[in-house]
Each structure stands twice: as C-alpha cells, then as structure tokens.
Structure 1
Amino acid sequence: MLTLFCFSYSINAQTTDEKETQTQTNWIEEITSRVTPYGSIRLGAGFAEKGEIGISNNSPRVGLNFSHRLSQSETDNFNIIGRLEFGLNLTSRDDTVEFAIDAGEGIAQVGDAVFTRIGYAGVSYKEFSLIFGKNNSIYYNLAASELDDFLAFGGTGLGVWNISDGGISGTGRANQVIQLNYKKKGLSLGAQAQARNISENSKSIDTYGLGANYKTNGFTIGLAYNKVNDGVDDPLPNQAKSGDEAFITAASFEKNRFKIGLSYGIFKNHHRTGDMFYDSKGVEFYSRYKFSTNKRWHVAAGFSSLKPDSNQNLGDFDTKYGILELAYNFKKSSHIFVSTKQDQSKNIAGSSRNQSVYGLGIRFAF
C-alpha cells in the first residue's frame, strides 16, 4: 500500500508541475501576443571635404508596440494601444560628419546614452484612434513622412525638426500631445493639440496641428498645418516661438521599381539662425530607382532647399544641398549604403556655410 501511495503521489506531483509550466507558457504567450518589439541599429562613417573623419549615429532606436483588445467581437475592434521608443547614442556626437536624418535627442537629452523618442498610450475603435503622450506629429505623419526616405542626410526643407526633435513646436516628435486620427481605405485625417504652459498668458491649447493624406494607385498627396498658439518672443530652449506657423504640401508616386516625390513648405518664425527666427519657404525633392533584377539595389537622388523671405534681411543666407545614394537591401528595412551630401549653403555674406560630406553606413532593423 505504501508503494502504491508513493507512486500515486509522484504522478500527482508531476501533473502539478506540468500545470505550472503550462500556466507560465500561457502567460508568456499572452504577453508576447500583445507586445511587438522592434529596433534599428544605424551607424555611419565618413569624411568631410576638408578632410575630417568621423563615425556617427544615424538615429538608432529600439521600441515596443502594444495592443490589447477590449471587446470580444472582432467587428467592434476596440483596443488599448501604445508605443514606447528609445533613441540610442551608440557613438559620441560628431559635429562634422553627421548622418542623422532628424535632430536626434530632444531638449536636455543631448549626449544621453538612452533617451525617449516616442511614448504614448491610447485607444482605437474601428477607423479612429486617440492617443496622448509624445509621438510623431500629424504634420510629419500625413505630409512629410512620404519624402523621408533617404538613408542619411535628408530633411531640412520640410521644417519637421526645426528645433531639436521638433517636440516644442509640434512639427516633429511632439511633446505632451493629444492626437485624433481617422483612417479608412486611402484617406487619412488627423488633428493634434499640445497642452503645456509656455508663457504667462498660457492657453489650454498651446499648439495645434491638422493634416490630411490620400493614397490611390501609387499616388499620394498630403498636406498639413501647424501653429503655435502660446509662444514667447525670446524663447528659451524648452519654449515655443510666438507666431510660429508651418504649412506643407507633398505629393509622390511609387510604382514597381520607381518612386518620385516633391514637397513645398511655407514657414513663419519657424526656423532659426543664431538667436533670430525667420520666415522662409522650403522645397524638397526625392527620387529612387531599384535597378537590379531582385530589386535589392537602388540609387536615390534629391535635394533640399530652405530660403528666407526677401524681407528678412538675411542677405545671401540659405540652406541648400543635393544628396546621392547607392544602397543594397539585404533584409527587410535593412541596408548598407554609400552616400554623399553636396552642400551649397551660404551665410549672410554669401560664403560657404557647411562642408560637403561623403560616407558609408549600415542600417539593420529587427
């Protein structure tokens, strides 16, 4: 009887262990079914025309997307959603050979090894989503992102990253933002507001942005407007400039191996040189052709131009450069590339303001 009892107990104990293991497995599966990790390691090395050599970040990041369904019915499609993304400073910041296609860290984060790029939570229901936190702006998502395809060097003419990461003005990765989005078939609409205390005459909505985007048969057209409601005349680094406005319209066409796009922007008190904010107009052009049979090799070319309005008394000051890129796509969203930025920007006196840069880089996404 004692032998039989021990045998019976051993079976029961094994069953309990199996249940605990199964419970742990179910818990892990439950979490992983709601959370999707991702990342992109991006580095570049190159030299400037005067001979300086550097190794630079190219906006590397890691993050998590999460979604949890609140309704049992798939037709209701009511979800809690969120995203958390961190930027990584894999090398020391380099002032001469700069590969980043955006400004990288936000205010008070320059030089940090890890810093917040995006962090939001919200809800989605059918075609609508409502989120709050820090996120890519409506301005960027619905008008500027279609032309943000260069693997390095792009972005000035669109006015997205006007100061740091554009979080203060609301055109980049907007800080303390509430966003409402609608997407159905090819149409996307969005509105956002930033709620902060910028000046002594603070308002409930400090900045707001509106945007629309439509896609059909390879064509995409988008437009967006962003305005600072509550700013100051002489802003500190964490304050918005009074009168800051940005409008952009962009169009692109992509089919098979070919993509082409053009944007045009009108800006008021949006860009800055030294302590001066100025009115300006910007243009950005992008083209790409996948020339190999397997579509892994591509060549891309384009330019970016930002010129102050003639009444701004800035002389010959402007920002303009061309970009040429050759890249190989070895994995989804992963490339190795060589690229050059031919800079023709001028200072007030008409002399060259920036050096041209030549480099190579790698972008590995997971």
Structure 2
Amino acid sequence: MRPGPRAARQAALLLSLAALSPCGAFAQDSGEVTTPSSDTEDKPSAEEVRENVVSAGEDPLQKWHAETQTDEIDERVGRPLKVLLYGSARLDYTIANSTGKLGDAGSRFGAFGEWAPSNRLLLFARAEAGLDLIEGFSDLSKSGSKKSEDDDSKVFDRLLYGGIETRRFLLVFGKNWSTYYQVSGFTDEFDSTGGDASGTYNAGTDGGPTGTGRADLALQAHISLKGLAERIGAQSLHLNLQAQDGRPIPGFDDAKYGVSIGTSGIIRFSKNVELGLAYNFAEIQLADRPALAAAGINGNAHAALLGVRWIDNDWYLATTVARLVNHEATDGLNYFDGWGWEVYARRQITTRFSIVGGWNWLKPDADEIQANDYRQRYGVIGARYALSRENGLERYAYVEWRIDDSREENGDKVGNSIVLGLRMDL
C-alpha cells in the first residue's frame, strides 16, 4: 500500500496543515480558547465531554437546542435577530489498494438565524450546503458526507429548515437530521466512515427519502418530558416525532413512498448512561410495481433501532442494534431484510489525544438470496489529536485504519484502507 511521489506530496501537505497551531491561518480573533494549553492539566468532566460530543456531532440543531434550554428567562426577553455564518473544512488522504488520494471529507458551510419575539418563543432557520474542496465526491459512503442525489455536483444541500421553540417543545420543518438519527448518531462518531449498519444512510443515499438520515421535507416535533423523567427517577426524557410523504424510493424514479413516520425516545438514567429507541416506517405500494418486487421489496419499509451509550471524562462507549426490513440495499440496489450492529469506543488519553475503535456489521437474512454475497463487516482503529477547541469549534487531526471484510454483491472484497484527516471548524 505504498503511494507514489505525487500521493506522498499530498499526504505531506495534509500533515503540514494539521501542524498549524490554533494561532495560525485557521484561528479566529475572538472568543475564549477552552482547550487546555498543556496535556498535564485536568481532563474535562463527564458533563463537559457530553457537551463536546454534541458539539462535534453532525446535528447542529441538537447542539443549539441544548444551549437554548439552559438560557434564563431574562436572557430571552427582547433578544434581537441573530445571524451566524459558519463552515467546516474537512480534508482526508486515503490509502487503499496500493494508491493514495487527497479528497474532501464532508466540508460544509451555512447560515443560521434566530429571533425571540417574546420570552416564550424562539423562531429559527438554517441553510447548510456541502461542498467539495478538492474535485468532486469520490466517496459517498462516508459518515455525514452523503449527497441527497447521486450526481457530480460540487455543492449540494445538506440542511434547509425553519421552526419554532418553546419551553416544552421544538417544531421544525424542512430537510433536517431525522428523529431516527437522534439514536443512530450514538455510534456515528468515526471521522472517515461509519453509519453503514444502523440503517441511517440506506440504499446509497443520505437517508433523506426514507427519513432515517437527513430527512427530506419532514415535519418534526422534539418534546422534553422533564416532569415524567423526574417521576421515574431519570435525569431527562426526550420524545421525537417525524412525518413525511411522497418521497422517491431510491433506485426507482417512478415510485414513491407513501406516508413515512418516525419516532424516537431517549432517556438519560444518570450523568453517564443513556438509552435510546427509534423506529421509522415508510409506506410502499406494491400494486402494479413489478420492478419493486424484482428488487426484493415485498412490503413496507421498517427500521427499528436500540442504542445505549456511556460517557465519562475518560471514555465514550456506544452500541446500536438495528432490524431492517425492505430498507437496506446492496451496491446493485437489491433490497433485503437484515440485522445491523455498530460499536464505537473512544478513550481519552490526555486532554488532546484520544484513541478510537469499533466496528460496523450488517448482514442480509439467510433467505434474502437477491442480496447474493453482499455484507458490511469491518473494524476501525484510530487516533485523534485536538489542535484546539474554541467557542465549540472543533479543530483536530486524525488517523483511522479500516480493517475490512466487507463484500460487494458480486462477491468482490472491499479491502482495507487507511485515512489521514483534518477537520477545521470556522
């Protein structure tokens, strides 16, 4: 797996960017730097780690909602219109099949606005676009970097929504991370891969049509059941609801899902442990659709998920188990029923350095012969080094080695790969 001279120069360029200090070209001029200046200082608390997990995650609405829920009443009264411009530059260098390639790893930019007409109500909206900083999208299987359409465009819509928030619930409409992802995101934490076994990014999409990833034109409600949580002795309890209608079935231009419903619930038992349940249903009309049956679809699409995660100041451990029916598809777009299992672990060694590991495992049921030899089965080990963390912005370099025993539908092996990457939130 030795790259050529040009590939080696590209890797050297990426590593030189990673070596830039927080005071270099990527730094901001204002804000307090929250990353300790020395690895000998105390590690963050479990609550700070939890906040960092939300901050570094793919769903920006989850982070914003958590922040607004901590505001005092007086801070909300008369709040003026606030608009935030943001971006994240993400590059990686992948070595696979004895070749190396510098590519984009899910870069994006966007704008977010909020306005509080009273101390009881917040209005908000977000528009976020993905963009390729290098040249096209060479790997659409990466976590958080999938496009909603399989084309060669270098800029595409990732998120586009608006909504309202009160003290008891949040209501949002548009293209947004799904209610299903509130749980499947427990294990979607690798920088270079992941999310393949949970049903999040099904059938080669971003999960938008079915509603399990970045759901298309979805109406969502996020409700905090604080009183019920207190009565059962839990720290928090959140219920999420979602509805869609008429989205295209991946791989079939003339067929659409009917009503799609998603729901999830997350209960936090203590400062360390959370349990999540998620379910997504998409109606499929098979009448006069022989092509759907030929592709292995024999009924409505179902995705059910159980997730657990444990967080403290040294560890992040999470696992999800999914049952998927008429939801997942092979690389040849043959649909199948199957089980998926994901595990993600991160160990904080110092305040800046951590190691990661885990696996994705997805296998069709034994009687799903149309899937042929298709399977997702790989492990990942890697490391992450924080360059800085400022105002919730993540800036770090990472390396991940994917040890792959996956097979395509025709039986071809996917093969191992090594990824060097850089994330710089701006």
Tell me the TM-score range normalised by the shorter chain. Answer: 0.7 to 0.9
Q: 1:129·1:182 contact (CA, 8 Å) conserved in 2? A: yes
Is 1:344 the equivalent of 2:405?
yes
Shift of 1:55: 1.5
Which residue does 2:161 correspond to in 1? 120
Higher relative contact order (CA 8 A, sep 6+): 2
CA offsets 1:67-121 (integer angstroms, 9 cap, x no match)? 11121xx3xx2111111111111122464x778313521115x322211100101
Q: 1:224·1:248 contact (CA, 8 Å) conserved in 2? A: yes
Shift of 1:157: 1.0
CA offsets 1:22-52 (integer angstroms, 9 cap, x no match)? xxxxxxxx9985122222111101210x212
Q: Counterpart amino acid of 2:281?
A: K
Shift of 1:201: 10
* Mapped partners of 1:189, 1:296: distance in 2: 34
CA offsets 1:264-323 (integer angstroms, 9 cap, x no match)? 00000111121310001000001110112xx11000000000000111124543110011
Which residue does 1:319 correspond to in 2? 376
1:26-105 aligned within 5 A:
34-48=82-96, 50-71=97-118, 74=119, 77-93=120-136, 95=138, 100-105=142-147
Q: 1:58·1:99 contact (CA, 8 Å) conserved in 2? A: no
Which residue does 1:265 correspond to in 2? 322
> Relative to 1, partners in 2 of residues 1:154 and 1:259: Cα closer, same or farther, differing over 3 Å?
same
> Relative to 1, partners in 2 of residues 1:197 and 1:165: Cα closer, same or farther, differing over 3 Å?
closer
Which residue does 2:6 correspond to in 1? none
* Mapped partners of 1:99, 1:31: distance in 2: 41
1:196-345 aligned within 5 A:
196=246, 206-215=259-268, 216-231=270-285, 233=289, 234=291, 243-273=300-330, 274-292=332-350, 295-313=351-369, 314-332=371-389, 333-345=394-406
Shift of 1:342: 1.0
The secondary structure found in structure 2 opposite 1:91 is coil
* Mapped partners of 2:240, 2:298: distance in 1: 23
Identity %: 26
Q: Counterpart amino acid of 1:47?
A: I
> Relative to 1, partners in 2 of residues 1:258 and 1:201: Cα closer, same or farther, differing over 3 Å?
closer
> Relative to 1, partners in 2 of residues 1:31 and 1:241: Cα closer, same or farther, differing over 3 Å?
farther
* Mapped partners of 1:132, 1:90: distance in 2: 29
> Relative to 1, partners in 2 of residues 1:347 and 1:198: Cα closer, same or farther, differing over 3 Å?
closer
Shift of 1:218: 1.2
* Mapped partners of 1:128, 1:321: distance in 2: 39
Q: Counterpart amino acid of 2:239?
A: L
* Mapped partners of 2:379, 2:282: distance in 1: 31
* Mapped partners of 1:209, 1:118: distance in 2: 18
* Mapped partners of 2:417, 2:324: distance in 1: 27
Which residue does 1:357 correspond to in 2? 417
Is 1:152 the equivalent of 2:192?
yes
* Mapped partners of 2:84, 2:409: distance in 1: 49
> Relative to 1, partners in 2 of residues 1:363 and 1:183: Cα closer, same or farther, differing over 3 Å?
same
Which residue does 2:17 correspond to in 1? none
What runs of 5+ residues in structure 1 fail to find an aligned partner? 1-29
The secondary structure found in structure 2 opposite 1:62 is strand
* Mapped partners of 2:247, 2:418: distance in 1: 43
> Relative to 1, partners in 2 of residues 1:300 and 1:201: Cα closer, same or farther, differing over 3 Å?
closer
> Relative to 1, partners in 2 of residues 1:122 and 1:211: Cα closer, same or farther, differing over 3 Å?
same
> Relative to 1, partners in 2 of residues 1:132 and 1:94: Cα closer, same or farther, differing over 3 Å?
closer
The secondary structure found in structure 2 opposite 1:156 is coil
Q: Counterpart amino acid of 2:222?
A: N
Q: 2:408·2:414 contact (CA, 8 Å) conserved in 1? A: no
* Mapped partners of 2:132, 2:407: distance in 1: 30
Q: Counterpart amino acid of 1:147?
A: T
> Relative to 1, partners in 2 of residues 1:159 and 1:201: Cα closer, same or farther, differing over 3 Å?
closer
* Mapped partners of 1:246, 1:230: distance in 2: 14
> Relative to 1, partners in 2 of residues 1:87 and 1:231: Cα closer, same or farther, differing over 3 Å?
farther
The secondary structure found in structure 1 opposite 2:185 is helix
Q: 1:131·1:179 contact (CA, 8 Å) conserved in 2? A: yes
Larger radius of gyration: 1
Q: By percentage of residues, which structure has more strand?
A: 1
The secondary structure found in structure 2 opposite 1:340 is strand
Q: 2:81·2:116 contact (CA, 8 Å) conserved in 1? A: no
TM-score of the two chains, using structure 1 as the length reference: 0.81
Q: 1:99·1:152 contact (CA, 8 Å) conserved in 2? A: no
184-193 or 164-173: bigger deviation = 184-193
Is 1:168 the equivalent of 2:209?
yes
TM-score of the two chains, using structure 2 as the length reference: 0.70
Q: Counterpart amino acid of 1:166?
A: G
Which residue does 2:149 correspond to in 1? 107
> Relative to 1, partners in 2 of residues 1:90 and 1:231: Cα closer, same or farther, differing over 3 Å?
farther
> Relative to 1, partners in 2 of residues 1:147 and 1:181: Cα closer, same or farther, differing over 3 Å?
same
* Mapped partners of 2:134, 2:267: distance in 1: 39
1:131-142 aligned within 5 A:
131-141=172-182
CA offsets 1:115-143 (integer angstroms, 9 cap, x no match)? 110010111111211111110000002x1
Shift of 1:184: 4.8
**What is the count of residue pairs matched by the alignment?**
321
